[in-house]
Amino acid sequence: MTENDVVLLEEKSKPMAESLERVMRELKPTMSLTIMLLRLAGKDKKLRSKLLEFIDVMPSLGGNRKKIRNHFRMYMDEHRHRFPVPYKQMLNVMNIPVVSLWCAGVMEWVIKNKFAPHFIIKDKDELFELSSLYSADNCGVMADFLGEKVLTKKESEQFIRKYQEAMGWVDRGIVHVSVKPSSLYPFFEPEHYSLAKREAEVTLYGMFVSAFMQYNSRVTLDAEHYALRDLTEDVFCQVVSELKISGCDNFGIAVQAYLKDSMGSAERFVGVAKKRGAPLMVRLVKGAYWDTEVEIANQNGWSVPVFENKEETDRNFNRIALYLLENSDYIRFYPATHNPKSIAFVYTAMNELGLLNNNEFMNNFAYQVLYGLGESPRKALAQMHLPTLVYAPMGNLMEGMSYFARRILENTSNEGFLFTLVDE
């Protein structure tokens, strides 16, 4: 693979990308409270930041209506002129003592019951219904459990039990399970590298063996903040290198294309797969912590680890995608993107490499989209009869508030394709 190969494939994929974009616009969701929130959040960076700060802080308010009212006004009052008329009226009403607490309760209810369900699955029954609904479109579901980094051994054990239970949902159509590395051990951080690596390896080894020997489930180690990247990859590579069971290929890891050195990760996984003699799954994502990574780097005077231009991230995504496809004997590839250009690039590359007619490859391939936000690309891919996997976060709103805020932020950038769908 050369840079020129990537550029040529991007040119070849343009007609398909344009066609796919037209279809996705036709399939865009109808106006709703969620779309109004996305449109509002995408209009102004500062307003978006304040809105998401409020959403993120809500769990700490414990349902206290007075605190909800005060925090909402603290974050949003200075931006009232930017809001649509119904929201301006709500802000005005919240200044009236008699009804302000009632308005705070209504607002909390709206966020929990109208916005969050577009991003978050409530429980396993809803997940099973979703899986059944999507199966007709050759679309699967990846189960992900919400919750930030665990703080205690008890919390870690609870997550591990959830993962083990989810592996048994294969008969309900849930074949893929996403595992957060920071949930495997309460001190999973570089400062405790040796201990964290040892503890996480023991847990992950048992999980991978169970996935293969007992359930035939597929488990992918997710990507989190950049600070955890090296530790996560070291744990994964050590565990899969030790797994010598013949044909044991039910596990994988995520690569974040917005990291400047992410090609090195892809090359490392291909090397490990070659050495162990069995394929690994790689979920290629663009990355969901861009703002946080930039802020952390700037605060500490470090080099920013992520591309600061979205076009560079998109090009790196294509570069890594082509590399992984060229090594399809060793990699089960799962590109995660909503962008029609990226989708078309992967399809064109597969066609050029003769993989679209390779049944073994296609049986272990799927595009991935986010639950709720990825409905337009999911439907478009279904029309093309291409396999798709929906990444479905499950849990209550309090567990998923950070995820909720992050996904809105990730998908309302004025550089993001989804923003253009809601801003028309």
158 and 291 belong to one structural domain: yes
CA distance 217 to 234: 23
Q: Which residues touch 109 (CB under 8 Å, ≥6 apart)?
A: none
412 has a pLDDT exceeding 70 = no
52 and 162 belong to one structural domain: no
Residue 28 counted as domain residue: no
CA distance 203 to 136: 35
65 and 134 belong to one structural domain: no
Q: Residue 385: which CATH number? A: 3.20.20.220
| pLDDT for 10 | 96
Strands of 156-295 (E only): list them. 176-179, 218-221, 251-256, 280-285
| pLDDT for 422 | 44
231 and 339 belong to one structural domain: yes
Residue 171 counted as domain residue: yes
193 has a pLDDT exceeding 70 = yes
Q: pLDDT digits over 137-168, tens only?
A: 889 999 999 876 788 999 999 999 999 999 99
148 and 57 belong to one structural domain: no
332 and 359 belong to one structural domain: yes
137 and 238 belong to one structural domain: yes
CA distance 181 to 185: 8
Confidence bin at 105 (pLDDT 50/70/90)? confident
292 and 371 belong to one structural domain: yes
389 has a pLDDT exceeding 80 = yes
Residue 307 counted as domain residue: yes
CA distance between the termini of the chain: 38
User: Is residue 189 left, alpha or beta, with left meaning phi > 0 and alpha meaning psi from -120 to 50?
Assistant: beta
Residue 14 counted as domain residue: no
342 has a pLDDT exceeding 60 = yes
CA distance 59 to 28: 31
Average pLDDT over residues 208-224: 93
50 and 190 belong to one structural domain: no
221 and 363 belong to one structural domain: yes
Greatest distance between any 2 Cα atoms in the chain: 70
The region of weakest confidence among 90-94, 144-148, 300-304, 337-341 is 90-94
C-alpha torsion sign, points 104, 110, 115, 116: positive
Q: How many domains does the chain have?
A: 2
| Short-list 325, 313, 338, 347, CA closest to 12 | 347
Average pLDDT over residues 234-258: 91
Range of the domain at 355: 121-394
Q: pLDDT digits over 251-271, tens only?
A: 999 999 999 999 999 999 999
